[in-house]
Amino acid sequence: MNAWRTPGIWVALLVILAIGLMPIVLKSDATREVVFTVLLSVALASSLNIILGYTGYVSFGHIVFFGLGGYVGLYALNVVGLPLWMAISAGGLAAGLLAFLLGKAILRLRGAYFALATIGINEAMRAFVINFPAFGGAIGISLNFRIYREYGGATSALWLTYYLMVAFTLLAVALSYAIKTSKFGLGLIAIRENEDAAEVMGVVTPNAKTWAYVLSAIIPGMVGVLFYFKNGNIEPGDAFRLHFSIELLVMVMLGGFGTVVGPILGAAGYQRLRGILLTTPVLKDIQLVVAGVLLLLIILFIPSGAVGWLRHRFPKLRQVLP
Amino acid sequence: MILEVQNVSKNFGGLQALLNISFSLPEHQILGLIGPNGAGKTTLFNVINGVFPPSRGTILFRDEDITGLKPYDIARKGMARTHQIVKPLNELTVRENVMVGACFGHKALGLHQARLVADEVLEFLGLNNRADQIAASLNIAQKKRLEMARALASQPYLLLLDEVLAGLNPSEIAAMVETILQIRQQGVTIIMIEHVMHAVMNVSDRIIVLDYGQQIAEGTPEEIAHNPKVIEAYLGDPKLAQRLQEGNGYGDTRGE
Ligand SMILES: Nc1ncnc2c1ncn2[C@@H]1O[C@H](COP(=O)(O)OP(=O)(O)OP(=O)(O)O)[C@@H](O)[C@H]1O
Ligand SMILES: [Mg+2]
């Protein structure tokens, strides 16, 4: 049975593509900015889902890969003078490498210990960057505006990053699906369900977990480059903000961890909610509180998220809803 | 010899769970492993399949030293086991559970092949009509069979069965015994831990008795049933001792 013959995944990819085309058809900068944020969330949440949802390891500080990618990318563009595509690759490579090195060390920890370790790594990375002159220390890196000129000026550079964002979101979702339906993915889910049983059945857990972590880090590293290229500058305070990590967790949990569609719906739903909160004066400042309460409610009442709940409620959906 | 256990000891802190266990197991045999609760039977399995390294001693599997290897290394070399306390992959379907065994165990099949093998094994164990259910929805007897199905799907040389009869009713026991004999017929060597005496006495070629971590007897079922040391070990449980001698009785005396 070929997994790519299932319609569900194509529907998901087509919906993302359709949403991605909207700002292009409308020629609207405002829509583009909104959709960019949603797509970024989808790409990040889908990537986080590989380690969190499939493997069952809560990576609380996952934003570290996004931030590191951004730093490496801007450094590559600004200082080394590499073209954008190489900067993006470098960002992905750096994130993947960090995950690989960390994986060997901290994936031996189970449960809350792993989650805590990932927070520690995010904070350690921030501290390191602040004290690392090549990355601009506490000030960070500002992109030299001349670089935009190589991409046809600021406006067309913005559109270029947008097209790339659409492509990376599609890639993230396709990768998530490819992993889930592969033998490797079956091993990851076995680890999530019972790591001891998985080991006894022959799943080489240290390797599987490390590769899951690497695969969940690469795309965040790459879109980190995109985001900060578009942003024009990066600072340690922004790049490693733990609350982004928490928001990503909310998205994955809201949509349904361990499913392919869950993080897509969760990310889109959460960003809509956030939009409403930010434009409502009373709620503007308590946006994070709402995220926290939401996470709590999900864990208490629908621990498997919206898609997980649907799949439980209607078992037939398992075949169509990846 | 498919398995050689040489002077294996295991202690947990101050507790001597196993002391100087040695035995050799020829291919295609069924070895019964019996002993009172807490004797160290499950611990011996854990040491053989790499869940814990032994504190002392050596384990050879198919003439290769596997002492200190991880469970996944040993699984890939062709040893599979079931758990006394079942460990289903709850959110996966029954078929997917069995596919994990087929994909990552000894034969390391691809997904497509694994699915075919899984369906065969499920049919063999009478779980085929449950294949698409999630594992969490099975009852305990079915979960025990699922443990066996996963182990078998890896097509192992050696199968370790930890109390697969516990909690089954007499007719289920009879069916399972038949299944175990068929597995042996297919060329698989088996070690089975069992409290259901008549069953283990009937199917085993040889039996080893553990008590307080020590190997107090080894022999044919006949010899074991009349061994005074064995009867003494079970004296804490006179009913069980009696059954042992009679070689009948349906007895798991403990609640599951
Ligand atoms: N991981 C562990 N840590 C500490 N002690 C343990 C551990 N595993 C087993 N033990 C102890 O080792 C002894 C032997 O336990 P084991 O489970 O091997 O017995 P058993 O013969 O399988 O008993 P049963 O018939 O009840 O299954 C017991 O005293 C048990 O408490
Ligand atoms: Mg036991």
Q: Is the CB of B35 under 6 A from ligand 1?
A: yes
Residue/partner pairs of B178-185 with CB below 8 Å, 24 or more apart: B179/B124, B179/B125, B179/B148, B180/B30, B182/B124, B183/B152, B183/B159, B184/B28, B184/B30
pLDDT of residue B254: 41
Partners of B161 in beta bridges: B192
Q: Is the CB of B40 under 6 A from ligand 1?
A: yes
Ligand 2 centroid to B77 CA: how many Å? Answer: 24
Per-residue pLDDT of A165-180, as tens digits, reads 999 999 999 999 999 9
Per-residue pLDDT of B148-175, as tens digits, reads 999 999 999 999 999 999 888 888 899 9
pLDDT of residue B225: 83
Is pLDDT above 70 for B253? no
Spell out which residues of chain A touch residue B103, defining contact as CB-CB under 8 Å.
183, 186-187
Is pLDDT above 60 for B252? no
pLDDT of residue A23: 94
ipTM: 0.90
From B83, B91, B100, residue closest to A186, measured CB to CB: B100
**What is the bridge-based pairing of β-strands B158-162 and B189-193?**
parallel
Nearest protein CA to atom 14 of ligand 1, as residue: B40
Query: For the ranges A138-142, A223-227, B240-244, which has the lowest average pLDDT?
Result: B240-244
CB B31, CB B25: distance < 8 Å: yes
Judged by its nearest atom, the ligand closest to the C-alpha of residue B214 is 1
- State mean pLDDT over B182-200: 92
Count the Cβ atoms, other than its own, within 10 Å of residue A114: 20
Q: Where are the alpha helices (H) located in A50-142, listed in sequence order? A: 63-75, 84-106, 112-130
- State mean pLDDT over B39-50: 95
pLDDT of residue A309: 78
- State mean pLDDT over B108-123: 95
Count the Cβ atoms, other than its own, within 10 Å of residue B149: 27
Q: At what angle do helices A63-75 and A242-255 cross, to 10 degrees?
A: 130
pLDDT of residue A105: 86
Burial B227-247 (b: 16+ CB within 10 A, else e): beebbebbeebeebbebbeee
Is pLDDT above 50 for B249? no
Count the Cβ atoms, other than its own, within 10 Å of residue B39: 23
Is pLDDT above 90 for B207? yes
- State mean pLDDT over B187-203: 92
CA distance A3 to B215: 52
Atom of ligand 1 nearest to the CA of B210: 21
* Cβ-Cβ contacts under 8 Å for A279 (sequence gap 6 or more): none
Is pLDDT above 80 for B251? no
Q: Rounded mean pLDDT of chain A?
A: 91
pLDDT of residue A283: 72
What domains lie within chain A, and their CATH numbers? 2-319 (1.10.3470)
- pTM score, two decimals? 0.92
Is pLDDT above 60 for A1? no
pLDDT of residue B235: 62
**Best of B77, B79, B100 to mutate (most A CBs within 10 Å, chain A):** B100
- State mean pLDDT over B1-22: 94
Is pLDDT above 50 for A235? yes
Atom of ligand 1 nearest to the CA of B41: 21
Is pLDDT above 70 for A215? yes
- State mean pLDDT over A28-52: 95
From A189, A194, A199, residue closest to B71, measured CB to CB: A199
- State mean pLDDT over A126-149: 92
- State mean pLDDT over A305-311: 79
From A192, A196, A204, residue closest to B87, measured CB to CB: A196
pLDDT of residue B92: 94
- State mean pLDDT over B227-232: 80
